[in-house]
Protein backbone atom coordinates (compact mmCIF):
# COMPACT_ATOMS: atom_id res chain seq x y z
CA UNK A 1 0.00 0.00 0.00
CA UNK A 2 1.34 3.39 -0.89
CA UNK A 3 0.62 5.08 2.33
CA UNK A 4 1.16 8.74 2.97
CA UNK A 5 1.41 9.07 6.69
CA UNK A 6 -0.46 12.10 7.72
CA UNK A 7 0.11 13.18 11.24
CA UNK A 8 -2.68 15.61 11.93
CA UNK A 9 -1.72 18.47 14.14
CA UNK A 10 -3.93 17.27 16.94
CA UNK A 11 -2.97 13.61 16.56
CA UNK A 12 0.74 14.13 16.94
CA UNK A 13 1.17 15.12 20.59
CA UNK A 14 1.30 12.15 22.83
CA UNK A 15 0.69 13.98 26.08
CA UNK A 16 -2.70 13.25 27.60
CA UNK A 17 -5.27 16.03 27.45
CA UNK A 18 -7.44 14.55 30.14
CA UNK A 19 -7.71 16.06 33.60
CA UNK A 20 -4.55 15.47 35.60
CA UNK A 21 -4.67 12.28 37.58
CA UNK A 22 -3.14 11.85 40.96
CA UNK A 23 0.58 12.57 41.03
CA UNK A 24 1.35 9.05 42.18
CA UNK A 25 -0.17 7.38 39.09
CA UNK A 26 2.54 6.14 36.74
CA UNK A 27 2.46 7.58 33.25
CA UNK A 28 1.43 5.03 30.67
CA UNK A 29 2.77 5.73 27.19
CA UNK A 30 -0.07 6.38 24.80
CA UNK A 31 -0.54 3.88 22.01
CA UNK A 32 -1.36 4.88 18.47
CA UNK A 33 -3.24 3.20 15.68
CA UNK A 34 -3.52 3.91 11.99
CA UNK A 35 -6.59 4.21 9.81
CA UNK A 36 -7.11 4.99 6.18
CA UNK A 37 -10.08 5.73 3.97
CA UNK A 38 -10.85 5.36 0.30
CA UNK A 39 -7.93 7.61 -0.63
CA UNK A 40 -5.44 5.37 1.23
CA UNK A 41 -4.09 8.32 3.19
CA UNK A 42 -3.11 6.92 6.56
CA UNK A 43 -4.02 8.83 9.71
CA UNK A 44 -2.23 8.24 12.97
CA UNK A 45 -4.69 8.37 15.85
CA UNK A 46 -4.21 7.77 19.55
CA UNK A 47 -6.12 5.01 21.28
CA UNK A 48 -7.62 7.70 23.52
CA UNK A 49 -9.10 9.55 20.55
CA UNK A 50 -10.32 6.31 19.00
CA UNK A 51 -12.31 5.57 22.12
CA UNK A 52 -15.04 7.74 20.65
CA UNK A 53 -15.62 5.10 18.00
CA UNK A 54 -17.28 2.05 19.52
CA UNK A 55 -16.45 0.07 16.37
CA UNK A 56 -12.72 0.79 16.38
CA UNK A 57 -12.50 0.66 20.15
CA UNK A 58 -14.02 -2.82 19.98
CA UNK A 59 -11.48 -3.80 17.35
CA UNK A 60 -8.42 -2.59 19.22
CA UNK A 61 -9.42 -3.67 22.71
CA UNK A 62 -6.83 -6.11 23.99
CA UNK A 63 -5.07 -6.10 20.66
CA UNK A 64 -1.72 -5.31 22.24
CA UNK A 65 -0.16 -4.08 19.00
CA UNK A 66 3.36 -2.79 19.04
CA UNK A 67 3.90 0.53 17.27
CA UNK A 68 5.33 -1.37 14.28
CA UNK A 69 2.44 -3.80 14.09
CA UNK A 70 -0.07 -0.95 14.30
CA UNK A 71 1.74 0.91 11.53
CA UNK A 72 1.89 -2.16 9.36
CA UNK A 73 -1.80 -2.91 9.82
CA UNK A 74 -3.81 0.29 9.37
CA UNK A 75 -7.55 -0.15 9.60
CA UNK A 76 -8.92 0.16 6.10
CA UNK A 77 -12.21 2.01 5.82
CA UNK A 78 -12.49 2.07 2.09
CA UNK A 79 -16.16 2.91 2.21
CA UNK A 80 -15.31 6.30 3.72
CA UNK A 81 -13.98 9.18 1.66
CA UNK A 82 -10.57 10.42 2.72
CA UNK A 83 -11.71 13.93 3.56
CA UNK A 84 -14.60 12.58 5.62
CA UNK A 85 -12.30 10.26 7.55
CA UNK A 86 -10.02 13.23 8.12
CA UNK A 87 -12.94 15.15 9.64
CA UNK A 88 -13.78 12.20 11.88
CA UNK A 89 -10.16 11.81 13.00
CA UNK A 90 -9.90 15.55 13.71
CA UNK A 91 -13.09 15.48 15.74
CA UNK A 92 -11.93 12.46 17.75
CA UNK A 93 -8.62 14.18 18.43
CA UNK A 94 -10.24 17.45 19.43
CA UNK A 95 -12.56 15.70 21.85
CA UNK A 96 -10.10 13.19 23.22
CA UNK A 97 -10.72 12.72 26.91
CA UNK A 98 -13.01 15.74 27.06
CA UNK A 99 -16.70 15.89 27.79
CA UNK A 100 -18.50 16.67 24.56
CA UNK A 101 -20.21 20.08 24.44
CA UNK A 102 -23.97 20.31 23.84
CA UNK A 103 -23.44 21.90 20.40
CA UNK A 104 -20.83 21.48 17.70
CA UNK A 105 -20.78 24.28 15.18
CA UNK A 106 -17.80 23.03 13.19
CA UNK A 107 -19.69 20.48 11.15
CA UNK A 108 -19.86 20.80 7.37
CA UNK A 109 -22.76 22.80 6.02
CA UNK A 110 -22.71 21.26 2.53
CA UNK A 111 -25.39 18.66 2.13
CA UNK A 112 -23.27 15.94 0.49
CA UNK A 113 -20.42 16.24 2.95
CA UNK A 114 -22.75 16.22 5.91
CA UNK A 115 -24.62 13.13 4.73
CA UNK A 116 -21.32 11.36 4.06
CA UNK A 117 -20.16 12.32 7.53
CA UNK A 118 -23.39 11.06 9.08
CA UNK A 119 -23.03 7.71 7.37
CA UNK A 120 -19.36 7.38 8.25
CA UNK A 121 -19.99 8.32 11.86
CA UNK A 122 -22.88 5.92 12.08
CA UNK A 123 -20.71 3.16 10.66
CA UNK A 124 -17.88 3.94 13.06
CA UNK A 125 -20.39 4.16 15.92
CA UNK A 126 -19.38 7.56 17.25
CA UNK A 127 -22.48 8.30 19.26
CA UNK A 128 -21.90 11.93 20.24
CA UNK A 129 -20.77 13.03 16.80
CA UNK A 130 -23.75 11.25 15.26
CA UNK A 131 -26.03 13.24 17.51
CA UNK A 132 -24.43 16.52 16.38
CA UNK A 133 -24.62 15.48 12.74
CA UNK A 134 -28.28 14.50 12.95
CA UNK A 135 -29.01 17.84 14.60
CA UNK A 136 -27.20 19.57 11.75
CA UNK A 137 -29.20 17.59 9.19
CA UNK A 138 -32.39 18.62 10.95
CA UNK A 139 -31.22 22.26 10.85
CA UNK A 140 -30.92 22.07 7.06
CA UNK A 141 -34.69 22.09 6.74
CA UNK A 142 -35.53 24.44 9.58
CA UNK A 143 -38.53 26.54 8.63
CA UNK A 144 -38.83 24.94 5.19
CA UNK A 145 -42.04 24.00 3.42
CA UNK A 146 -42.64 20.46 2.09
CA UNK A 147 -41.74 21.61 -1.43
CA UNK A 148 -38.53 23.20 -0.24
CA UNK A 149 -37.57 20.09 1.70
CA UNK A 150 -38.33 17.94 -1.32
CA UNK A 151 -36.03 20.14 -3.36
CA UNK A 152 -33.21 20.34 -0.80
CA UNK A 153 -33.18 16.64 -0.06
CA UNK A 154 -34.22 15.53 -3.55
CA UNK A 155 -37.16 13.55 -2.22
CA UNK A 156 -39.26 12.20 -5.09
CA UNK A 157 -43.02 12.60 -4.92
CA UNK A 158 -45.07 9.43 -4.48
CA UNK A 159 -45.97 9.57 -8.16
CA UNK A 160 -42.33 9.89 -9.18
CA UNK A 161 -41.46 7.07 -6.82
CA UNK A 162 -44.10 4.79 -8.31
CA UNK A 163 -43.01 5.63 -11.85
CA UNK A 164 -39.37 4.87 -10.98
CA UNK A 165 -40.40 1.59 -9.40
CA UNK A 166 -42.39 0.61 -12.49
CA UNK A 167 -39.47 1.53 -14.71
CA UNK A 168 -37.07 -0.52 -12.56
CA UNK A 169 -39.40 -3.52 -12.72
CA UNK A 170 -39.69 -3.17 -16.47
CA UNK A 171 -35.94 -2.98 -16.82
CA UNK A 172 -35.42 -5.98 -14.55
CA UNK A 173 -37.97 -7.95 -16.59
CA UNK A 174 -36.20 -7.06 -19.82
CA UNK A 175 -32.83 -8.01 -18.39
CA UNK A 176 -34.18 -11.33 -17.13
CA UNK A 177 -35.68 -12.03 -20.54
CA UNK A 178 -32.37 -11.15 -22.20
CA UNK A 179 -30.48 -13.48 -19.90
CA UNK A 180 -32.93 -16.33 -20.60
CA UNK A 181 -32.54 -15.78 -24.32
CA UNK A 182 -28.75 -15.72 -24.01
CA UNK A 183 -28.77 -18.90 -21.94
CA UNK A 184 -30.99 -20.58 -24.54
CA UNK A 185 -28.56 -19.44 -27.28
CA UNK A 186 -25.62 -20.90 -25.33
CA UNK A 187 -27.45 -24.18 -24.88
CA UNK A 188 -27.90 -24.47 -28.67
CA UNK B 1 -1.50 -12.72 18.17
CA UNK B 2 -1.81 -14.23 14.69
CA UNK B 3 -5.47 -15.09 15.25
CA UNK B 4 -6.24 -11.58 16.50
CA UNK B 5 -4.72 -10.06 13.38
CA UNK B 6 -6.63 -12.54 11.23
CA UNK B 7 -9.90 -11.60 12.91
CA UNK B 8 -9.11 -7.95 12.53
CA UNK B 9 -8.34 -8.40 8.86
CA UNK B 10 -11.69 -10.13 8.44
CA UNK B 11 -13.49 -7.34 10.23
CA UNK B 12 -11.87 -4.60 8.22
CA UNK B 13 -12.37 -6.61 5.05
CA UNK B 14 -16.09 -6.61 5.77
CA UNK B 15 -15.99 -2.88 6.30
CA UNK B 16 -14.28 -2.39 2.97
CA UNK B 17 -16.80 -4.35 0.97
CA UNK B 18 -19.74 -2.17 1.93
CA UNK B 19 -21.08 0.08 -0.80
CA UNK B 20 -19.72 3.55 -1.42
CA UNK B 21 -22.10 6.07 0.07
CA UNK B 22 -24.64 8.00 -1.86
CA UNK B 23 -25.01 11.43 -0.47
CA UNK B 24 -28.72 11.97 -0.48
CA UNK B 25 -31.43 11.90 2.15
CA UNK B 26 -33.22 9.14 0.25
CA UNK B 27 -30.17 6.89 0.46
CA UNK B 28 -29.86 7.22 4.19
CA UNK B 29 -30.90 4.18 6.21
CA UNK B 30 -34.21 4.48 8.03
CA UNK B 31 -32.62 4.43 11.47
CA UNK B 32 -30.47 7.46 10.65
CA UNK B 33 -33.41 9.28 9.10
CA UNK B 34 -35.34 8.57 12.28
CA UNK B 35 -32.52 9.94 14.39
CA UNK B 36 -32.47 13.12 12.28
CA UNK B 37 -36.25 13.40 12.53
CA UNK B 38 -36.00 13.08 16.29
CA UNK B 39 -33.93 16.30 16.25
CA UNK B 40 -36.55 18.22 14.26
CA UNK B 41 -39.17 20.54 15.66
CA UNK B 42 -42.83 19.95 14.98
CA UNK B 43 -43.03 22.37 12.05
CA UNK B 44 -40.29 20.63 10.11
CA UNK B 45 -41.70 17.19 10.90
CA UNK B 46 -45.08 18.25 9.59
CA UNK B 47 -43.46 19.56 6.41
CA UNK B 48 -41.41 16.40 5.95
CA UNK B 49 -44.41 14.13 6.40
CA UNK B 50 -46.08 15.96 3.52
CA UNK B 51 -43.27 15.21 1.09
CA UNK B 52 -43.86 11.48 0.52
CA UNK B 53 -45.58 8.44 2.02
CA UNK B 54 -42.31 6.87 3.14
CA UNK B 55 -41.30 10.02 4.99
CA UNK B 56 -44.74 10.29 6.55
CA UNK B 57 -44.56 6.81 8.00
CA UNK B 58 -41.11 7.53 9.41
CA UNK B 59 -42.24 10.82 10.95
CA UNK B 60 -45.34 9.17 12.39
CA UNK B 61 -43.21 6.64 14.24
CA UNK B 62 -41.20 9.30 16.05
CA UNK B 63 -42.28 10.61 19.40
CA UNK B 64 -41.90 14.33 19.98
CA UNK B 65 -41.49 16.03 23.33
CA UNK B 66 -43.31 19.22 24.28
CA UNK B 67 -42.97 21.36 27.32
CA UNK B 68 -46.63 22.05 26.95
CA UNK B 69 -49.48 21.66 24.53
CA UNK B 70 -52.99 23.03 24.30
CA UNK B 71 -55.75 21.51 22.25
CA UNK B 72 -58.97 23.48 22.14
CA UNK B 73 -61.91 24.55 20.09
CA UNK B 74 -62.03 28.28 19.52
CA UNK B 75 -64.98 29.71 17.60
CA UNK B 76 -65.39 27.24 14.73
CA UNK B 77 -61.77 26.17 14.66
CA UNK B 78 -59.65 23.52 16.25
CA UNK B 79 -56.61 25.26 17.64
CA UNK B 80 -53.42 23.50 18.65
CA UNK B 81 -50.58 25.30 20.40
CA UNK B 82 -47.34 23.57 21.27
CA UNK B 83 -44.26 24.73 23.09
CA UNK B 84 -41.06 22.79 22.54
CA UNK B 85 -39.65 24.72 25.45
CA UNK B 86 -40.77 27.77 27.35
CA UNK B 87 -40.15 30.11 24.42
CA UNK B 88 -40.65 28.31 21.11
CA UNK B 89 -44.28 28.01 20.18
CA UNK B 90 -46.03 26.61 17.15
CA UNK B 91 -49.75 27.06 16.55
CA UNK B 92 -51.99 25.27 14.09
CA UNK B 93 -55.59 26.19 13.39
CA UNK B 94 -58.05 24.04 11.49
CA UNK B 95 -61.32 25.33 10.14
CA UNK B 96 -61.79 21.95 8.49
CA UNK B 97 -62.52 19.83 11.54
CA UNK B 98 -61.91 16.54 9.70
CA UNK B 99 -58.34 17.62 9.07
CA UNK B 100 -58.17 18.98 12.59
CA UNK B 101 -59.19 15.67 14.13
CA UNK B 102 -56.74 13.86 11.86
CA UNK B 103 -54.06 16.10 13.27
CA UNK B 104 -55.38 15.48 16.78
CA UNK B 105 -54.90 11.75 16.22
CA UNK B 106 -51.35 12.28 15.02
CA UNK B 107 -50.43 14.52 17.91
CA UNK B 108 -51.98 12.22 20.51
CA UNK B 109 -49.97 9.36 19.03
CA UNK B 110 -46.57 11.06 18.91
CA UNK B 111 -46.74 13.78 21.54
CA UNK B 112 -44.95 13.37 24.84
CA UNK B 113 -46.18 16.25 26.93
CA UNK B 114 -44.85 17.67 30.11
CA UNK B 115 -48.10 19.64 30.39
CA UNK B 116 -51.16 19.03 28.27
CA UNK B 117 -54.32 21.08 28.29
CA UNK B 118 -57.43 19.88 26.49
CA UNK B 119 -60.43 22.17 26.32
CA UNK B 120 -63.35 20.81 24.33
CA UNK B 121 -67.03 20.81 24.92
CA UNK B 122 -68.48 19.13 21.87
CA UNK B 123 -69.58 15.61 21.14
CA UNK B 124 -67.57 15.34 17.89
CA UNK B 125 -64.35 15.71 19.85
CA UNK B 126 -65.61 13.23 22.41
CA UNK B 127 -66.20 10.68 19.65
CA UNK B 128 -62.71 11.28 18.32
CA UNK B 129 -61.21 10.53 21.72
CA UNK B 130 -63.40 7.46 22.05
CA UNK B 131 -62.31 6.24 18.61
CA UNK B 132 -58.65 6.91 19.30
CA UNK B 133 -57.03 3.56 20.08
CA UNK B 134 -53.58 4.70 21.20
CA UNK B 135 -52.34 6.19 24.41
CA UNK B 136 -51.84 9.81 25.36
CA UNK B 137 -48.53 10.58 27.02
CA UNK B 138 -48.43 13.47 29.45
CA UNK B 139 -47.11 14.15 32.91
CA UNK B 140 -49.59 16.83 33.85
CA UNK B 141 -53.02 16.93 32.29
CA UNK B 142 -55.42 19.82 32.47
CA UNK B 143 -58.93 19.30 31.21
CA UNK B 144 -60.82 22.54 30.81
CA UNK B 145 -64.43 23.01 29.87
CA UNK B 146 -64.55 19.32 29.02
CA UNK B 147 -67.82 17.55 29.59
CA UNK B 148 -67.97 14.58 31.88
CA UNK B 149 -68.46 12.34 28.83
CA UNK B 150 -65.27 13.76 27.39
CA UNK B 151 -63.18 13.43 30.51
CA UNK B 152 -63.43 9.68 30.96
CA UNK B 153 -62.27 8.58 27.48
CA UNK B 154 -59.32 10.94 27.80
CA UNK B 155 -58.36 9.75 31.26
CA UNK B 156 -58.70 6.12 30.23
CA UNK B 157 -56.28 6.72 27.37
CA UNK B 158 -53.58 8.32 29.46
CA UNK B 159 -50.35 6.37 29.47
CA UNK B 160 -48.81 5.40 32.80
CA UNK B 161 -46.68 8.15 34.24
CA UNK B 162 -49.32 10.83 34.73
CA UNK B 163 -48.31 12.87 37.73
CA UNK B 164 -51.27 15.17 37.97
CA UNK B 165 -54.67 15.61 36.41
CA UNK B 166 -56.54 18.87 36.71
CA UNK B 167 -60.09 19.46 35.66
CA UNK B 168 -61.42 22.93 35.50
CA UNK B 169 -64.80 24.08 34.40
CA UNK B 170 -66.23 27.53 34.47
CA UNK B 171 -69.42 26.78 32.67
CA UNK B 172 -71.40 24.82 35.18
CA UNK B 173 -70.67 21.39 33.75
CA UNK B 174 -71.29 18.69 36.32
CA UNK B 175 -68.93 15.81 36.73
CA UNK B 176 -70.36 12.83 38.52
CA UNK B 177 -68.22 12.67 41.58
CA UNK B 178 -68.79 8.96 42.13
CA UNK B 179 -67.36 8.26 38.73
CA UNK B 180 -64.37 10.45 39.32
CA UNK B 181 -63.75 8.57 42.52
CA UNK B 182 -63.53 5.48 40.33
CA UNK B 183 -59.91 6.60 39.96
CA UNK B 184 -59.44 4.90 43.35
CA UNK B 185 -60.54 1.66 41.73
CA UNK B 186 -58.07 2.15 38.90
CA UNK B 187 -55.29 2.74 41.41
CA UNK B 188 -56.25 -0.35 43.36
CA UNK B 189 -56.41 -2.46 40.22
CA UNK B 190 -53.17 -1.18 38.76
CA UNK B 191 -51.15 -0.94 41.94
CA UNK B 192 -50.16 2.67 41.31
CA UNK B 193 -46.97 4.10 42.71
CA UNK B 194 -46.71 5.98 45.96
CA UNK B 195 -47.13 9.71 45.45
CA UNK B 196 -49.72 9.41 42.66
CA UNK B 197 -52.10 12.29 43.25
CA UNK B 198 -55.54 13.14 42.02
CA UNK B 199 -57.05 16.50 42.93
CA UNK B 200 -60.54 17.74 42.32
CA UNK B 201 -62.97 20.31 43.56
CA UNK B 202 -66.67 19.81 43.61
CA UNK B 203 -69.68 21.74 44.76
CA UNK B 204 -71.87 18.95 45.93
CA UNK B 205 -72.18 17.66 49.46
CA UNK B 206 -71.82 14.07 50.49
CA UNK B 207 -68.70 13.16 48.53
CA UNK B 208 -66.88 11.87 51.58
CA UNK B 209 -69.77 9.71 52.58
CA UNK B 210 -70.00 8.22 49.12
CA UNK B 211 -66.36 7.23 49.25
CA UNK B 212 -66.98 5.64 52.61
CA UNK B 213 -69.89 3.66 51.26
CA UNK B 214 -68.00 2.55 48.19
CA UNK B 215 -64.96 1.37 50.09
CA UNK B 216 -66.50 0.48 53.45
CA UNK B 217 -64.75 -2.90 53.48
CA UNK B 218 -61.37 -1.25 52.93
CA UNK B 219 -61.63 1.51 55.50
CA UNK B 220 -58.52 2.07 57.62
CA UNK B 221 -59.39 5.36 59.28
CA UNK B 222 -61.61 8.40 58.90
CA UNK B 223 -62.07 11.82 60.37
CA UNK B 224 -63.46 15.18 59.27
CA UNK B 225 -60.63 15.79 56.81
CA UNK B 226 -59.35 12.39 55.79
CA UNK B 227 -60.43 8.94 54.76
CA UNK B 228 -57.80 6.25 54.45
CA UNK B 229 -58.44 2.99 52.64
CA UNK B 230 -56.50 -0.22 52.03
CA UNK B 231 -55.48 -1.33 48.54
CA UNK B 232 -54.81 -4.87 47.36
CA UNK B 233 -51.13 -4.16 47.89
CA UNK B 234 -50.49 -4.42 51.64
CA UNK B 235 -47.72 -1.78 51.31
CA UNK B 236 -50.00 0.93 49.97
CA UNK B 237 -53.00 2.91 51.11
CA UNK B 238 -55.10 5.56 49.45
CA UNK B 239 -55.71 8.78 51.32
CA UNK B 240 -58.63 11.02 50.42
CA UNK B 241 -58.17 14.43 51.93
CA UNK B 242 -60.55 17.31 52.05
CA UNK B 243 -58.80 20.66 51.89
CA UNK B 244 -59.92 22.80 54.81
CA UNK B 245 -58.26 25.93 56.11
CA UNK B 246 -59.12 29.43 57.26
CA UNK B 247 -60.38 30.39 53.76
CA UNK B 248 -61.96 27.13 52.70
CA UNK B 249 -64.14 26.25 55.67
CA UNK B 250 -66.45 23.30 56.09
CA UNK B 251 -69.35 25.35 54.68
CA UNK B 252 -67.40 26.83 51.75
CA UNK B 253 -69.34 26.49 48.49
CA UNK B 254 -66.60 24.48 46.74
CA UNK B 255 -65.12 21.39 48.27
CA UNK B 256 -61.52 20.55 47.50
CA UNK B 257 -60.31 16.97 47.48
CA UNK B 258 -57.02 15.23 47.01
CA UNK B 259 -56.62 11.51 46.50
CA UNK B 260 -53.12 10.28 47.12
CA UNK B 261 -51.41 6.92 47.03
CA UNK B 262 -49.40 6.63 50.23
CA UNK B 263 -47.26 4.08 51.96
CA UNK B 264 -49.17 1.86 54.39
CA UNK B 265 -46.45 2.77 56.85
CA UNK B 266 -47.28 6.48 56.76
CA UNK B 267 -48.17 7.77 60.20
CA UNK B 268 -50.91 10.28 60.91
CA UNK B 269 -48.27 12.68 62.18
CA UNK B 270 -46.72 12.66 58.70
CA UNK B 271 -49.87 13.96 57.01
CA UNK B 272 -49.43 17.26 55.24
CA UNK B 273 -51.81 19.68 56.91
CA UNK B 274 -50.93 22.54 54.60
CA UNK B 275 -53.54 22.20 51.90
CA UNK B 276 -53.12 25.77 50.66
CA UNK B 277 -50.61 24.81 48.00
CA UNK B 278 -52.63 22.09 46.36
CA UNK B 279 -55.92 23.95 46.61
CA UNK B 280 -54.24 26.90 44.94
CA UNK B 281 -53.11 24.61 42.12
CA UNK B 282 -56.69 23.62 41.40
CA UNK B 283 -58.12 27.06 41.97
CA UNK B 284 -55.56 29.76 41.25
CA UNK B 285 -56.58 33.03 42.82
CA UNK B 286 -58.70 31.49 45.55
CA UNK B 287 -56.65 33.16 48.23
CA UNK B 288 -57.07 36.54 46.56
CA UNK B 289 -53.40 37.02 45.85
CA UNK B 290 -53.93 37.78 42.17
CA UNK B 291 -55.44 40.74 40.48
CA UNK B 292 -57.94 39.80 37.77
CA UNK B 293 -55.30 40.30 35.12
CA UNK B 294 -52.79 38.07 36.83
CA UNK B 295 -55.45 35.49 37.39
CA UNK B 296 -56.25 35.38 33.69
CA UNK B 297 -52.61 35.16 32.74
CA UNK B 298 -52.15 32.32 35.11
CA UNK B 299 -55.21 30.51 33.93
CA UNK B 300 -54.41 30.89 30.27
CA UNK B 301 -50.68 30.88 29.99
CA UNK B 302 -49.32 28.86 32.78
CA UNK B 303 -51.88 26.25 33.39
CA UNK B 304 -49.55 24.04 35.31
CA UNK B 305 -46.38 24.84 37.07
Query: Which residue does chain A place closest to B29, by CA atoms?
Result: A119
Give the pLDDT score at B167. Answer: 72
Residue B246 in any domain: the answer is yes
Average pLDDT score over residue span A70-91 = 89
Residue B183 in any domain: the answer is no
Give contacts of B 33-72 with A, CB under 8 A. Answer: 35-41, 43-44, 47-48, 50-55
Give the pLDDT score at B4. Answer: 47
Confidence of residue A132 (pLDDT cuts 50, 70, 90): very high
Are B52 and A155 inside 8 Å of each other by CB? yes
pTM, 2 dp: 0.68
Average pLDDT score over residue span A33-61 = 87
Residues B137 and B171 in one domain: yes
Q: Collect all residues of chain A within an 8 Å Cβ-Cβ radius of residue B48.
A: 141, 146, 149
Give the pLDDT score at B42. Answer: 93
Residues B156 and B195 in one domain: no
Residues B197 and B151 in one domain: no
Q: Collect all residues of chain B within an 8 Å Cβ-Cβ radius of residue A137.
A: 36, 39
Mutation choice for B interface testing from A33, A36, A57, A59 by most B CBs within 10 A: A59
Are A59 and B11 inside 8 Å of each other by CB? yes
Residue B104 in any domain: the answer is yes
CATH of the domain at B111: 3.30.420
Residues B246 and B145 in one domain: no
Domain count across chain B: 2
Using the 8-state DSSP alphabet, how is residue A102 labeled?
Answer: S
Give the pLDDT score at B202. Answer: 73
Q: Chain A closest CA to B25's CA: distance in Å?
A: 6
User: Judging by DSSP bridges, how do beta strands B111-119 and B137-144 pair with one another?
Assistant: parallel
Mutation choice for A interface testing from B32, B84, B90 by most A CBs within 10 A: B32
Give the pLDDT score at B289. Answer: 55
Average pLDDT score over residue span A124-142 = 92
Residue B20 in any domain: the answer is no
CATH of the domain at B247: 3.30.310
**Pairs of CB atoms within 8 A across A/B:** 113
Residue B239 in any domain: the answer is yes
Residues of chain B with pLDDT under 70: 1-22, 146, 168-190, 203-208, 211, 289-305
Q: Chain B closest CA to A37's CA: distance in Å?
A: 9
Q: Collect all residues of chain A within an 8 Å Cβ-Cβ radius of residue B11.
A: 59
Between A163 and B5, name the one with better pLDDT: A163
Give the pLDDT score at B126. Answer: 82
Sheet holding B137-144, edge to edge: B89-94, B77-83, B64-74, B111-119, B137-144, B164-168
Residues B201 and B243 in one domain: yes
Residues B168 and B197 in one domain: no
Give the pLDDT score at B85. Answer: 83
Residues B161 and B67 in one domain: yes
Give the pLDDT score at B156. Answer: 86
Residues B82 and B115 in one domain: yes
Q: Chain B closest CA to A143's CA: distance in Å?
A: 6
Residues B113 and B68 in one domain: yes
Q: Chain B closest CA to A28's CA: distance in Å?
A: 22
Containing domain of residue B284, as a range? 191-300
Average pLDDT score over residue span A59-69 = 76
A150 has pLDDT over 90: yes
Residues B212 and B293 in one domain: yes
Between A56 and B37, name the one with better pLDDT: B37
DSSP class per residue in chain B? -HHHHHHHHHHHHHHHHSPPPP-SGGGS-HHHHHHHHHTS-HHHHHHHHTT-HHHHHHHHTS-EEEEEEEEEEETTEEEEEEESSSS-EEEEEESSHHHHHHHHHHHHHHEEEEEEEEE---HHHHHHHHH--S-BEEEEEEEES--HHHHHHHHHTBPTT--EEEEE-SS-PPP-HHHHTHHHHHHHHHTPPTT-EEEEEE--TTHHHHHHHHTGGGEEEE-SSEEEEE-SSTTEEEEEEEE-SSSS-TT-SSEEEEEEEEETT--GGGS----HHHHHHHSTTTTS-S-HHHHHHHHHH-S--
Q: Chain A closest CA to B6's CA: distance in Å?
A: 11
Residues B110 and B139 in one domain: yes
Give the pLDDT score at B183. Answer: 61
Q: What is the pLDDT of residues B274-295, one digit of tens each?
A: 888 888 877 777 887 544 433 3
Give the pLDDT score at A18. Answer: 41
Q: What is this model's ipTM?
A: 0.74
Give the pLDDT score at B223. Answer: 87
Q: What is the pLDDT of residues A98-131, one digit of tens each?
A: 777 767 667 777 777 899 999 999 999 999 999 9
Amino acid sequence: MSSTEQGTSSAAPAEPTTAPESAAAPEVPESFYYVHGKDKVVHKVSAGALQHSALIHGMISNLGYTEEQAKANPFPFENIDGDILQMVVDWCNQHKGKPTPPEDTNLPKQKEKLFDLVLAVNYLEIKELLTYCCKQVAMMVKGKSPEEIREIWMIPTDAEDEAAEKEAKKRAGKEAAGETAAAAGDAK
Amino acid sequence: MASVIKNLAEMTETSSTEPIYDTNWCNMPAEIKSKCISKMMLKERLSLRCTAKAERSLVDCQKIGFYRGRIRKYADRLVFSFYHDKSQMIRKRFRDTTKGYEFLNYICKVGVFENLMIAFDESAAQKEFEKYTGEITAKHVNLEYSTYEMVLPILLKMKDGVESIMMYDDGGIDYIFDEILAISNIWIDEDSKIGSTFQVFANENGSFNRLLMRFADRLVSKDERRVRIRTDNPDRHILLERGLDETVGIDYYDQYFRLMMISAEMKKSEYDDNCKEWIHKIRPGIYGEYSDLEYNLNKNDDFLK
